């Protein structure tokens, strides 16, 4: 019986499409040149960061085959550190492989995500892991962390060992955390710059630019080293969770935090769990005349979906079809052949 796919198993399968000698060149040579050499006809083009269209990706670039189906492109920002650009290019290479040589893995992503939006987020996480696996080998992780409890100093030590970006180091360290936790990068005292979650966190990613708890240790991370303090993971979002947090400031514009379900100092791990934000209030669908939104959860608006029209709390454009019975544009239940009013009239 085949095991259910995980982020780790999909990323490992994706990495299997890259030969060992190619991995070495992707780590050590100019990444754009190496990608074009080994994965042609794909092309790589640097652009000013302001011209990068950042969709669901949380790094500075994107992959597209819209310009020329016969020659896909990776566009990446040219105004960031070279390590960060390398991570971006390799992340987008992961998307390219999923569209070509490793397309069979898309079924695993769909199964893992369970919905279109969740599958997109799962693909992003897999491409993060793919890039991280290329840049930070397993041997380095074992030498640096071993069986120790993960803390921010491990992330710093791995970053100092090679050419991997902070994002790549965060991804790889989070990947080997045996418990629920995450590595969080901080650039200011108000928002998440980057977050890589361990597999035990499931699909509860913490999106870039999410707000930090202003009273929590991550908000103070740029200024002070801290150990085993309570923190709200996904503060203000659905599926928030109380964890323990360690932080280490690197310089005035960067700090590394590690959040975990166990305190790093070995103290008792008794913390009060936070209820998901959407459980705190009843929400009704504005399109379905008072139907309560109580199914699932949207990672963007932190709210549940309507069981009738499947909308969440995001501002969706109204695109109701023309009803064949009354000839008017009115809200329609998913799968119905007429508008809601006509359904009520005709029973």
Could you report the per-residue pLDDT of 222-252, keeping only the tens digit for each?
A: 999 999 999 999 998 888 899 999 999 999 8
Q: What is the pLDDT of residue 291?
A: 79
Residues 98 and 209 in one domain: no
The fraction of the chain above a pLDDT of 70, given in percent, is 83
Q: What is the pLDDT of residue 187?
A: 95
Mean pLDDT estimate for the chain: 83
Residues 125 and 142 in one domain: no
Residues 143 and 266 in one domain: yes
Of 185, 208, 197, 184, nearest to 60 (Cα)?
208
pLDDT over 50 (residue 61):
yes
pLDDT over 50 (residue 283):
yes
- Are 129 and 171 within 8 A, CB to CB? yes
End residue of a domain, out of 76, 107, 135: 135
Q: What is the pLDDT of residues 82-133, one digit of tens each?
A: 888 888 999 999 999 999 999 999 998 888 877 888 888 889 889 988 988 8
Q: How far apart are alpha carbons 176 and 160 in whole angstroms?
A: 18
End residue of a domain, out of 72, 107, 135: 135
Instruction: Show the domain range for 300.
Output: 277-316
Q: What is the pLDDT of residues 183-223, one digit of tens each?
A: 999 999 999 999 999 988 876 778 889 999 999 999 999 99
Residues 235 and 309 in one domain: no
Residues 294 and 255 in one domain: no
Comparing 176 with 316, the larger pLDDT belongs to 176
The conformational region for residue 327 under phi > 0 = left, psi -120 to 50 = alpha, else beta, is left
Phi, psi of 216 (to 5 degrees): -95, 170
Residues 94 and 122 in one domain: yes
Q: What is the pLDDT of residues 301-338, one digit of tens each?
A: 666 778 777 777 775 544 556 777 777 666 666 667 77
CATH of the domain at 72: 1.10.10.2910
Considering 25-39, 52-66, 328-342, the range whose residues carry the highest mean pLDDT is 25-39
Residues 329 and 304 in one domain: no
Residues 217 and 281 in one domain: no
Considering its fold, how many domains does the chain have in total?
A: 4
Residues 152 and 216 in one domain: yes
Residues 182 and 291 in one domain: no
Phi, psi of 185 (to 5 degrees): -100, 140
Q: What is the pLDDT of residues 120-147, one digit of tens each?
A: 888 988 998 898 888 888 888 999 999 8
Lowest mean pLDDT segment, chosen from 271-275, 297-301, 309-313:
271-275
Residues 263 and 167 in one domain: yes
Q: What is the pLDDT of residue 277?
A: 47
Q: What is the pLDDT of residue 170?
A: 92
End residue of a domain, out of 114, 135, 156: 135
Residues 219 and 292 in one domain: no
Q: What is the pLDDT of residue 278?
A: 44
pTM above 0.75, yes or no: no
Q: How far apart are alpha carbons 123 and 92 in whole angstroms?
A: 11
CATH of the domain at 230: 3.30.450.130
Sheet holding 226-233, edge to edge: 194-197, 181-186, 254-260, 241-251, 226-233
């Amino acid at each position: 019986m085949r095991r259910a796919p995980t982020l780790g198993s999909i990323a490992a399968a994706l990495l299997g499409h890259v030969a060992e000698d190619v991995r070495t060149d992707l780590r050590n040579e100019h990444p754009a040149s190496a990608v074009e050499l080994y994965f042609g006809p794909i092309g790589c083009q640097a652009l000013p960061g302001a011209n990068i269209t950042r969709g669901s990706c949380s790094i500075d670039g994107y992959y597209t085959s819209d310009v020329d189906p016969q020659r896909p492109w990776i566009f990446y920002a040219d105004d960031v550190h070279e390590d960060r650009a390398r991570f971006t290019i390799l992340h987008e290479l992961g998307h390219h492989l999923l569209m070509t040589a490793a397309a069979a893995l898309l079924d695993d992503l769909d199964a893992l995500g369970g919905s279109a939006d969740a599958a997109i987020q799962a693909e992003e996480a897999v491409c993060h892991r793919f890039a991280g696996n290329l840049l930070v080998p397993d041997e380095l992780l074992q030498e640096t962390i071993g069986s120790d409890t993960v803390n921010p100093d491990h992330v710093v030590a791995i970053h100092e060992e090679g050419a991997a970006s902070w994002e790549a180091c965060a991804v790889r360290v989070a990947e080997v955390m045996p418990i629920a936790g995450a590595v969080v990068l901080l650039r200011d005292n108000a928002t998440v710059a980057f977050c890589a979650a361990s597999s035990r966190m499931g699909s509860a990613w913490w999106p870039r630019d999410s707000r930090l708890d202003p009273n929590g240790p991550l908000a103070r991370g740029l200024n002070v080293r801290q150990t085993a303090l309570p923190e709200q993971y996904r503060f203000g979002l659905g599926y928030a969770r109380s964890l323990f947090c360690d932080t280490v400031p690197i310089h005035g514009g960067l700090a590394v935090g590690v959040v975990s379900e166990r305190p790093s100092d070995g103290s008792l791990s008794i913390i009060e769990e936070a209820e998901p934000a959407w459980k705190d209030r009843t929400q009704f669908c504005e399109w379905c005349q008072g139907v309560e939104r109580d199914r699932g959860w949207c990672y963007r608006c932190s709210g549940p979906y309507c069981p009738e029209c499947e909308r969440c709390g995001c501002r969706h454009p109204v695109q109701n079809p023309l009803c064949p019975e009354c000839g008017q544009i009115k809200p329609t239940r998913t799968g119905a052949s007429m508008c809601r009013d006509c359904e009520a009239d005709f029973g």
